[in-house]
Structure 1
């Protein structure tokens, strides 16, 4: 990467991302879905408190029940931010303006990650406080409880890293439809299927969205028998592999 190429690339990527209406619609959807589901689940738990007085009840993870919709929103954001340029041909203009492809890709990933994290973090805190308030004082958690604050930050990091995984896949496939056809089943279908197949369940627990769920939990659960630290390593590995694959695809193929 040439010295001095990154700064103007960052400015260009920030301009492109913030001028897309889809950016703010998808992030607003992630915020609204998570807060709304946090409120609904919190209210349901308060109404049926007797059913949730168990040792393995995790009020923090339960409050993040809308994370699946949040995942879908950030997956769409990552795909559209990258594949959209290839679909419309804008990537050719971008590479004329920033011929250093490493700088171009680094700037895109950095801006996309920063914007997603900037929205995911307040979403995490808003969802946590909404859900825990709705649960009432009997079963809810506070930020001072063991693992609670880590889980809130883990929620934001989880969404951010899934967005970057999606961006990397989109850079390889260069198609919005093809990218979503891979990512949606991977994050929302395959994990549940693998969990029912003897001999494959152990591998399925290392899928990125399942590893990320450990970052958001404060109570261990049987399906994923490793801790938050291992979950972080797993999802970071997926992210690094996807981002690197995207860079290699960008460098080796014509725009």
Structure 2
């Protein structure tokens, strides 16, 4: 089957499954709404901050506070895109129609990634403007140094979260197993490793912690991270590429 036909087929599969579409919508709503709430609370608490915290106050990054929860929906989206066919048994039909497994997997990832990016970049800009509206006199402007990079980076971050989840789902196949590993990894293990002094230097190289650096305009005075915003995003890209390669290798070597 021609690559263009495979791409069209994958697009049809994604848009025909309501759950995948709903998860993208949920990611947008949660990210924007929670970002607005945290921004409003931060504005009210600004005068209570000490001088050092006021100097490193990052209104741009605060407006993205909702992404910590919005990425949950992106993880679910990425897992469902890949694992739905395993759950229904349609994977055998799909692989019979597209025996080139690399073409099959990466067409699926490409279509889903483009869709995720379109939603993510729109969500990132919306979260920024809504959050800044809540921050009032403490708000940042899109033309301020580093702000546009951070807003675009927010869209890239959410997209990579989804693609990373696709790679993991391609390796593990089952949605429950994939979610059972990804959820604790991003919401528990990563936070523990990143906040415990003994493991902090390791935790900062995990995909979510490294990738989130792209959304920061200001850093705390005690920040000794050995990479900058684009370096952090590069680390996240490397993680994502690694799991996609792992997913491809396992898909190629085993039966459906």
Say whether residues 1:191 and 2:190 are aligned partners.
yes
Q: Secondary structure at the match of 2:138?
A: coil
Q: Which of 12, 15, 20 matches 2:12?
A: 15
The structure-2 alpha-carbon separation of the partners of 1:149 and 1:196, relative to structure 1 and needing over 3 Å to count, comes to closer
Residue 122 of structure 1: CA displacement?
0.7
2:112 matched residue in structure 1:
112
How big is the alpha-carbon RMSD for the aligned residues of Structure 1 and Structure 2? 1.4
The structure-2 alpha-carbon separation of the partners of 1:223 and 1:13, relative to structure 1 and needing over 3 Å to count, comes to farther
**Cα deviations across residues 116-155 of structure 1 (Å, max 9, x unaligned)?**
001011101111000001110x211010111110011110
Whether the 8 Å contact between 2:14 and 2:21 is mirrored in structure 1 is no
The structure-2 alpha-carbon separation of the partners of 1:224 and 1:192, relative to structure 1 and needing over 3 Å to count, comes to farther
In 1, Cα distance between equivalents of 2:195 and 2:23 = 32
Using the TM superposition, name which of 109-118 and 39-48 deviates more.
39-48
Mapping for residues 1-255 of structure 1, pairs under 5 Å: 5-52=2-49, 54-136=54-136, 138-221=137-220, 222=222, 225=225, 226-255=227-256
Residue 196 of structure 1: CA displacement?
4.4
In 1, Cα distance between equivalents of 2:187 and 2:98 = 36
Per the normalisation by structure 1, the TM-score is 0.94
Residue 195 of structure 1: CA displacement?
3.0
Using the TM superposition, name which of 51-60 and 104-113 deviates more.
51-60
Residue 230 of structure 1: CA displacement?
1.1
The structure-2 alpha-carbon separation of the partners of 1:165 and 1:223, relative to structure 1 and needing over 3 Å to count, comes to farther
In 1, Cα distance between equivalents of 2:149 and 2:166 = 26
In 2, Cα distance between equivalents of 1:192 and 1:78 = 21
Per the normalisation by structure 2, the TM-score is 0.94
Residue 224 of structure 1: CA displacement?
6.4
Residue 173 of structure 1: CA displacement?
0.6
Whether the 8 Å contact between 2:194 and 2:202 is mirrored in structure 1 is no
Residue 223 of structure 1: CA displacement?
5.7
Compare the two structures and name the one with the higher helix fraction. 2
Q: Secondary structure at the match of 1:141?
A: coil
Whether the 8 Å contact between 2:212 and 2:233 is mirrored in structure 1 is no
In 2, Cα distance between equivalents of 1:116 and 1:60 = 22
- Ranges in structure 2 where 5+ consecutive residues have no aligned partner: none
In 1, Cα distance between equivalents of 2:30 and 2:235 = 26
Using the TM superposition, name which of 123-132 and 34-43 deviates more.
34-43
Whether the 8 Å contact between 2:56 and 2:218 is mirrored in structure 1 is yes
- Ranges in structure 1 where 5+ consecutive residues have no aligned partner: none
Figure out how many residues of one structure are paired with residues of the other and give that number. Answer: 251
